[in-house]
Amino acid sequence: MELPVRLRQARSALLLIFLVHGAVFALLVTRIPAIQDRYGLSDGELPLALAAVPILAGVGTVTASRVVRRVPPHVVVRVVQPLICLALVGVGAGQAVWQLAVCLVAFGLLVGAMEASLNMTGVGIQRGYGRSIMLGFHGAASLGGILGAALSWAGAHWHLSLFTVFASSVVMLLPAAVAAGPRLDARPDGTGAGRGGPASAPSAAGAPETRPDGLRGIPWKPLLPLCLIMAVSVVADSTATNWSAKFLEDTLHSSEAMATVPYGLYMVATLLGRALGDGWVQRWGAAVVVRAGAVLAALGFAVVAAAPEPLTAVLGFAVLGVGLSVIIPQALVIGAQRLPGAEDTAVARVSLFNYVGFLIGPPLVGAVGAAVSYRAAMCVPLLLVLCVLLVARSLAAPNPADSSARVPSPEAPRTTVG
């Protein structure tokens, strides 16, 4: 059956918006040293400022889960994305520490609301398609991260001010996302419909879903394995992005230039895994793909920890990127399937543990690295990722209550690729 035009338009629009969001986030995190210099932050003050962002993002995620009970997620996306861009420009324009604090508070809260709403919208569009497309959205965010890092590099190379880099990037990226925003509503008309069958499925991306009154009646138990998988995956991801360069320089005695290679190759591997991952889910099912991703991630960390020289470690980080790339998007999709009628709440709750992983990962790995060695530190996320294999076994259990979802169940093999 041919998909409705508005549903295909919604998918294209969301791909673009994910890309812009990934680029904006990368612009901030890749210029952290320049931000520290601009505002004169000490090495002790900087971690406190950075730790506040994921905490506030968690608050933003919880807030979004309540807002979308009355406002469709795609509307939240359209409102929040320009505000995130303004907060980024504010970071580059400020002069005093209090101005930085205000902008980072806004950025953290808005990013949490944005990412939760993006994933809710993506899950709704995927339901309309009736097949896995969620990994493609996250692949667009990875591509955006590469684009943002390239813009950041260009600004540093040409010695441009933070304000110039951030403002010019926003001027280039934001208009495209704003123009795509109206196409996020996949409803064929302005009314929306129930979730019962194929004809109503496209409305899922554009209308608040029926859910119990309040949050008290929505259980946490079906989501706990997915929350653990999310947190562990982000611990592993933050290890690669935060500590790969230091591991190569301090442990393997690589050159400074070589130490920058793992992050770039890790991002490319992540993009590749997400570009191909929807096809893997179609063929083998989400639970199998999650377990395979955990095996690859553990193998990648093992190669890194045992690497005798830099090139081996770089290849290990690439394997790690492919493995982790498929886990986080599937945790969100399976979470939505676990709570039919409260999919948005499920996505928000699983997303919340994204920020838990960010808070735990870098300090934990850094502490082990300082106290023992960075080889030992790489074994910490390795062991945590192996735990995903144990938890992921529960994902194969079918959820009989989810009879209305058109997305393939976690263990149902699918051979149709489109």
Name the domain boundary from 210, 243, 266.
210
For residues 229 and 188, membership in a common domain is answered with no
Does a structural domain hold residue 53?
A: yes
Question: CA 342, CA 215: separation in Å to the nearest integer?
Answer: 9
Most distant pair of Cα atoms in the chain: their distance: 62
Question: CA 279, CA 270: separation in Å to the nearest integer?
Answer: 15
Position 17 scores a pLDDT of 97
User: For the packed helices 261-284 and 224-246, what is the interaxial angle rounded to 10 degrees?
Assistant: 150
For residues 185 and 256, membership in a common domain is answered with no
For residues 329 and 414, membership in a common domain is answered with yes
| Cα 214 versus chain centre, distance | 27
Query: What mean pLDDT is predicted for residues 188-194?
Result: 40
Does a structural domain hold residue 215?
A: no
For residues 159 and 235, membership in a common domain is answered with no
Does a structural domain hold residue 332?
A: yes
Does a structural domain hold residue 123?
A: yes
**Phi/psi of residue 148, each to 5°?**
-60, -40
pLDDT per position as a tens digit, 353-385: 999 998 899 889 888 988 999 999 999 999 999
**The pTM is what?**
0.82
Is it the case that residue 99 has pLDDT exceeding 80? yes
Query: What mean pLDDT is predicted for residues 202-220?
Result: 52
CATH of the domain at 39: 1.20.1250.20
Question: Dihedral of the CA atoms 143, 144, 146, 148 (nearest 10)?
Answer: 170
Position 396 scores a pLDDT of 62
| Cα 46 versus chain centre, distance | 23
For residues 311 and 340, membership in a common domain is answered with yes
Question: CA 376, CA 211: separation in Å to the nearest integer?
Answer: 46
Position 260 scores a pLDDT of 74
Structure tokens at 228: 């653990």
For residues 282 and 182, membership in a common domain is answered with no
Does a structural domain hold residue 56?
A: yes
Range among 209-218, 257-266, 338-347 with highest mean pLDDT value:
338-347
Encode 161-178: b = buried (16+ Cβ within 10 Å), e = exposed: ebeebbbebbeebbeebe
| Cα 403 versus chain centre, distance | 28
Structure tokens at 297: 């991630």
Name the domain boundary from 210, 244, 275.
210
Question: CA 56, CA 41: separation in Å to the nearest integer?
Answer: 20
Q: List Cβ neighbours of 386 (8 Å cut-off, separation of 6 or more).
A: 294, 298
Percent of the chain with pLDDT over 90: 61
CA dihedral over 50, 55, 59, 61, signed as positive or negative: positive
Domain total for the chain?
2
For residues 187 and 283, membership in a common domain is answered with no
Question: CA 397, CA 415: separation in Å to the nearest integer?
Answer: 20
For residues 6 and 71, membership in a common domain is answered with yes
* Average pLDDT over the chain, rounded to an integer: 85
pLDDT per position as a tens digit, 81-96: 999 999 999 999 999 9
For residues 234 and 184, membership in a common domain is answered with no
For residues 238 and 352, membership in a common domain is answered with yes
For residues 136 and 232, membership in a common domain is answered with no
For residues 240 and 164, membership in a common domain is answered with no
Domain range holding 309? 220-418
Does a structural domain hold residue 270?
A: yes
Query: What mean pLDDT is predicted for residues 90-116?
Result: 95
Query: What mean pLDDT is predicted for residues 332-352?
Result: 90
Percent of the chain with pLDDT over 70: 86
pLDDT per position as a tens digit, 125-161: 999 999 999 999 999 999 998 999 889 889 888 999 9
